[in-house]
Amino acid sequence: MAKRIDVSGLSAFYGTHKAIDDISMTVEPRSVTAFIGPSGCGKSTFLRTLNRMHEVTPGGRVEGKVMLDDENLYGQGVDPVAVRRTVGMVFQRPNPFPTMSIFDNVAAGLRLNGSYKKSELNDVVERSLKGANLWNEVKDRLNKPGSGLSGGQQQRLCIARAIAVEPQVLLMDEPCSALDPISTLAIEDLIGELKERFTIVIVTHNMQQAARVSDRTAFFNLAAVGQPGKLVEIDDTDRIFSNPSVQATEDYISGRFG
Amino acid sequence: MSHALQDPRPVKPRSSAPSSLTRGGLPRWAPAAIAALSALLGAGIGAVAGLESRMQWGLIAALLFVGITYTASSVVENRRQAKDRVATSLVWVCFLLAVVPLLSLLGVTIARGIKVLDGYFLSHSMAGVAGFAPGGGVYHALLGTIEQVLLATAIAAPIGLLTAVYLVEYGRGRLAKAVTFFVDVMTGIPSIVAGLFILTTWTLMLEQGPSGFAGSLALSILMMPVVVRSTEEMLKLVPNELREASLALGVPKWRTILKVVLPTAIGGISTGVMLAVARIAGETAPIMLLVFGNPLINDNPFEGAQSSLPLYIWEQYKVGSEDSFDRAWAAALVLIAFVMILNLVARGIARWKAPKTGR
Amino acid sequence: MASTTPTQMDTAPPVVSGARSTGRAGDKIFSGLSKGSGILLLTIMASIAVFLTYRATLALSENEGNFLTTFDWNATGNPPVFGIAVLLYGTVVSSIIAMVIAVPIAVGIALFISHYAPRKLAGPLAYVVDLLAAVPSIVYGIWGALFLVPYLGGLTSWLNQYLSFTYIFDKTQVGVDRSLFTVGILLAIMILPIVTSVSREVFLQVPRMNEEAALALGATRWEVIRMSVLPFGRSGVISASMLGLGRALGETMAVATVLSPSFLISGHLLDPGGGTFAQNIAAKFDEANEFGRDALIASGLVLFLLTLLVNGAARMIIARRKEYSGANA
């Protein structure tokens, strides 16, 4: 199931603007890695390079290597569509398909990849919704539109949709920033369960959240506005929050900037 | 403008070790190659089967292109990719289908219109020229069009402008909603119905004879909703801070609108008015009902029948001789040039006067 | 109206968002003028309906035929006999042909501009499509009659040869293609721009995050469009099509130049003949006496109501969509 991500020498551009510069890191399978850093430091951009979503932005371009176990995502002949199927993503704002029912939302990814029997689909949808801790809340209204759910439920629906296709890696781009504290807690609990099965990378603005959910934490920073973002350090979360090896990390964590 | 989903296709397929992420892919030049092949085959099949219409050749080529693309992609890639490629080619075909008639229309009009279009044609009327005979010109029609359009603008522009001001600056409640809705509906009134309306009131009830002015009345009905709509859009773009700043200085609201709001939006408003003018300049039906047509020069739009460019084209077309067709094409060329120049100037103003946002 | 409270003093702080003016005479006049213009527009719309109805009743009271079912237009005869059956049929059929051809192509072009074309090309392309809309209908008319009609010979004989079993493509009369089918093709070209530009606007409004949701699931570009763009844009495309339909129903000159009219209803679309409301008015107006004009006005009234219905429905759909998407924004 879960795979290791090995990034080396990765830079990303918007047109001629360099957004992130020369990043190398390793993300262990079946763990949660959190990206923290001030706004504009490129952590979301970096996240989007991990499933080739960066290049759908007009002008988006990437240099460097991202190895998923032993395959380079940016190698020759690699199909971005297959990459995105293997590396799932959850976005900042919940984005269920507004015209689809709850059931169809979860089944959407499967239906893309071939025809399934109704019973198979039922199984996968139930399993995914249970996996996202949403099953009990929606099992009686699977045919209702997904947009009728609360924000937190919608976000868990999006997680269910992402895990339904059994990806190797799950990327989360500030998944709780649009949610209330109780929904946030529900998602954080869920992340703890999901890491048994997936490699999880989460971008967050909230340092407490990073401390709560992640095993390892990467701190990104930028020298000045307009400069590309860089990886300052990546280490076990405990160490980053207690005894970071770089001064800037400590300044950021203790609230001196950002 | 577009947010094209830019999915660069993998550069070189095959050969790399098989894995879950790679797949067989058509090379990047494949669509171009298939297009060239289908064009050749289309022309070949068309020529062999003795089909005369180039349109059919094109259709055959387009069908071949879609078919070959689907088959090739299904074999080398997979069915999802094949569908994606077919969708892409269909979208391209749709676009080409739209460009072909435009180019053809412009090409044909220019090629046939240029034949008799010269200084003489532009400066003479049809006085003393029999319909089927060569000679004659378009001066009287051009003059009529300009006068009628100017009059229509003089009526419609102020009314349209004030209505837009009402909707944006004053309008609240039911009346404003009704006006908004009916302005939209009015945009869709067929020009011949506007003509019939002026016919019932001006001609039949007030018993006025045909005149350029009667035509202007009908044209102004067609023009008003267009002016309202575009002016409304422009006024809405004026930032509220400007209004507040002026009002806070104690300037009364009407002066604020006249001195601050309208000048800020003037570029966009004039663009909208000119586009509306371009639209009514080509209207034939109401002119036919109300202005009647006249082979002679009549420079008084308030008295007696006049001609106009669109009506002139229609009349020359109806005569049905080679010479009258030539005149019809030449007049069509003049009309298109007239409308296009208005369009270009309007868009030029829009670009030049575009409100500069801080970003 | 702007509630002009006369007691309010000049020095009173102006209320920005409200419609209250400072009470000066200038304000009264100006707001009165602008409100008056709005009312004038409504009055024009109302009087179009009233006057056309009045003249129409004059004609209808003398009509010896059945206005709805008579297959003839002899309003100047004695007794006058006229009916709109053929016109209604021709108007609706030619417009439907136009829609069947134009809507899919317009959606394709709109998608091309919004999602397929290279970014630098998208703007100019949209402009080119708008130019199509600026060409006057009479020019389309003579282009259709003198250029398109001869060119369509190949297509129609092909349709006749292979699809004549469908009845509608069975060409029973020899002759040039001045048929409802040709009119439909020409109308399709004419309504392409409006359908395209409205659809394009809707497609461009699809929230980025809806598209990314599909992309992140591993959807191809076409699948993104099918999952996110088309469902979002559906109502917009419907109303765009109805706006186009409104145009097609009322088009005069392009039909008058291309069609060779007759007062027959035929299911064979490739046969010359038939007529539309607008075309009939243009063709019969010159020879009509006052009563004949009233009869034509009666048919114009039906056309007016028809376009009113179609345009009103289109606008309602757009308005409802705006509320809907506004609530979700």
Q: What is the pLDDT of residues B140-184, one digit of tens each?
A: 999 999 999 999 999 999 999 999 999 998 888 899 989 998 998
Between C158 and C96, where is the model more confident?
C96
d(CA A157, CA A142) in angstroms, rounded, equals 11
d(CA A30, CA A91) in angstroms, rounded, equals 20
Query: How many CA atoms, within 13 angstroms, populate the side-chain half-sphere of residue B324?
Result: 17
**A201-220 tens-digit pLDDT:** 999 988 899 999 999 999 99
Looking at the DSSP bridge assignments, the partners of residue C73 are C82
Nearest to B185 by CA among B196, B197, B177: B177
What superfamily would CATH give domain B139-352? MetI-like (1.10.3720.10)
Report how many Cβ contacts below 8 Å link chain A to chain B.
56
Query: Mean pLDDT across the stretch A176-181?
Result: 87
Provide the token pair at A46: 């970096």
**Cα angle for residues B195, B201, B203 (degrees, 5° grid):** 75
Neighbouring C-beta atoms of residue B49, cutoff 10 Å: 10
Q: Is C2 on the interface with B (CB under 8 A)?
A: yes
**B258-292 tens-digit pLDDT:** 888 998 888 888 888 988 998 899 999 999 999 98
d(CA A108, CA C94) in angstroms, rounded, equals 40
- Chain B residue with CA closest to C159: the answer is B56
d(CA C160, CA C172) in angstroms, rounded, equals 9
Whether B335 has a pLDDT exceeding 60, the answer reads yes
Residue among C220, C223, C278 minimizing CB distance to B190: C278
Based on the number of CB atoms within 10 Å of its own CB, is B146 exposed (0-12), middle (13-18) or buried (19 or more)? middle
Provide the token pair at A70: 């032993």
A79 with B25: CB under 8 angstroms? yes
**B215-254 tens-digit pLDDT:** 999 999 999 999 999 999 889 888 888 888 988 888 888 8
Whether C327 has a pLDDT exceeding 50, the answer reads no
Predicted-assembly ipTM surpassing the 0.90 threshold = no
- Look at B162 and C36 and tell me if their CB atoms are within 8 Å: yes
SS3 category, A173: strand
Whether B330 has a pLDDT exceeding 80, the answer reads yes
How far off is chain A from C305, nearest CA to CA, in Å? 34
Whether A33 has a pLDDT exceeding 80, the answer reads yes
pTM of the prediction?
Answer: 0.84
**C217-253 tens-digit pLDDT:** 888 889 999 888 998 888 889 888 988 998 899 999 9
Provide the token pair at C14: 């102006």
- Look at A86 and B21 and tell me if their CB atoms are within 8 Å: yes
Secondary element (H or E) of residue A212: helix A207-213
Using a CB-CB distance cutoff of 8 angstroms, which residues of chain A are in contact with residue C327?
none
C291 with C80: CB under 8 angstroms? yes
B355 with B262: CB under 8 angstroms? no
- Residue A66's φ and ψ, nearest 5 degrees, are -125, 110
Residue among C127, C196, C307 minimizing CB distance to B189: C307
Cβ density class C261-297: b for 16+ within 10 Å, e for less: bebeebebbbbbbbbbbbbbbbbbbeebeeebbbbbb
Q: Mean pLDDT of all residues in chain C?
A: 84
Tell me which amino acid residue A91 is: F
Mutate which of C114, C217, C223 to test chain A, going by most A C-beta atoms within 10 A?
A: C217
Q: Where are the domains of chain C?
A: 1-62, 74-328
Cis bond upstream, residue C79 (ω within 30):
yes
Using a CB-CB distance cutoff of 8 angstroms, which residues of chain B are in contact with residue C204?
1-3
How far off is chain A from B7, nearest CA to CA, in Å? 6
User: Per-residue DSSP letters for C38-67?
Assistant: HHHHHHHHHHHHHHHHHHHHHHHHH--S-T
Using a CB-CB distance cutoff of 8 angstroms, which residues of chain A are in contact with residue B23?
77, 79, 82
Q: Per-residue confidence at C1, pLDDT binned at 50, 70, 90?
A: very low
Mutate which of A47, A53, A73, A81 to test chain C, going by most C C-beta atoms within 10 A?
A: A81
Which CATH fold topology does C74-328 show?
MetI-like fold (1.10.3720)
- Chain C residue with CA closest to B278: the answer is C134
Q: Are strands A199-203 and A32-36 parallel, antiparallel or unpaired?
A: parallel
Between C97 and C151, where is the model more confident?
C97
d(CA C168, CA C268) in angstroms, rounded, equals 4
* Phi-psi category of residue C218: left, alpha or beta, with phi > 0 → left and psi -120 to 50 → alpha: left
Query: Mean pLDDT across the stretch B200-205?
Result: 88
Query: How does DSSP classify residue B18?
Result: P
Whether C284 has a pLDDT exceeding 70, the answer reads yes
Q: Per-residue confidence at B6, pLDDT binned at 50, 70, 90?
A: very low
Using a CB-CB distance cutoff of 8 angstroms, which residues of chain C are in contact with residue B5?
115, 211, 215, 221, 224
CA separation (Å) from B283 to B164, B295, C300?
A: 24, 19, 17
The CATH-assigned architecture of domain A5-253 is 3-Layer(aba) Sandwich (3.40)
d(CA A97, CA A22) in angstroms, rounded, equals 36
Q: What's the pLDDT score for residue C3?
A: 42
- Look at C216 and A81 and tell me if their CB atoms are within 8 Å: no
Q: What's the pLDDT score for residue B24?
A: 67
Q: Is C143 on the interface with B (CB under 8 A)?
A: yes
Whether C269 has a pLDDT exceeding 90, the answer reads no
Using a CB-CB distance cutoff of 8 angstroms, which residues of chain C are in contact with residue A95?
207, 209-210, 212-213
Residue among A83, A108, A165 minimizing CB distance to C227: A108
A66 with A50: CB under 8 angstroms? yes
d(CA B224, CA B20) in angstroms, rounded, equals 62
Whether A257 has a pLDDT exceeding 80, the answer reads no
Using a CB-CB distance cutoff of 8 angstroms, which residues of chain C are in contact with residue A83?
218
Q: Where are the domains of chain B?
A: 30-113, 139-352
- Look at B84 and C111 and tell me if their CB atoms are within 8 Å: no
d(CA B335, CA B198) in angstroms, rounded, equals 24
Non-local CB neighbours of C82 within 8 Å, separated by 6+ positions: C63, C65, C67, C70, C72, C73, C74, C75, C295
Q: What's the pLDDT score for residue B281?
A: 92
Query: Mean pLDDT across the stretch B323-334?
Result: 94
d(CA A62, CA A58) in angstroms, rounded, equals 12
- Could you tell me which residues of chain A have a Cβ less than 8 Å from any Cβ in chain C? 51, 53, 56, 58, 81-86, 88-89, 91, 93, 95-100, 108-109, 112-113, 147, 158, 161-162, 165
- Look at B6 and A73 and tell me if their CB atoms are within 8 Å: no
Please give the radius of gyration of chain C, using alpha carbons only, rounded to the nearest integer: 25
d(CA A119, CA C112) in angstroms, rounded, equals 38
- Chain C residue with CA closest to B330: the answer is C139
- Comparing A28-32, A221-225, B30-34, C172-176, the range with the smallest average pLDDT is C172-176
Based on the number of CB atoms within 10 Å of its own CB, is B72 exposed (0-12), middle (13-18) or buried (19 or more)? middle
In this complex, which chains have at least 3 CB pairs below 8 Å with chain B?
A, C
**C128-184 tens-digit pLDDT:** 887 778 889 999 999 999 988 888 877 787 788 888 777 778 777 777 788 899 999
Query: What residue has token string 């990886």?
Result: A231
**C12-54 tens-digit pLDDT:** 444 444 444 445 788 888 989 999 999 999 999 999 999 999 9
Q: What's the pLDDT score for residue B149?
A: 95
d(CA A132, CA A157) in angstroms, rounded, equals 7
CA separation (Å) from A3 to A6, A71, A86, B22?
A: 10, 11, 10, 17
Query: How many CA atoms, within 13 angstroms, populate the side-chain half-sphere of residue B125?
Result: 16
* Phi-psi category of residue A9: left, alpha or beta, with phi > 0 → left and psi -120 to 50 → alpha: left
Residue among A58, A93, A109 minimizing CB distance to C217: A109
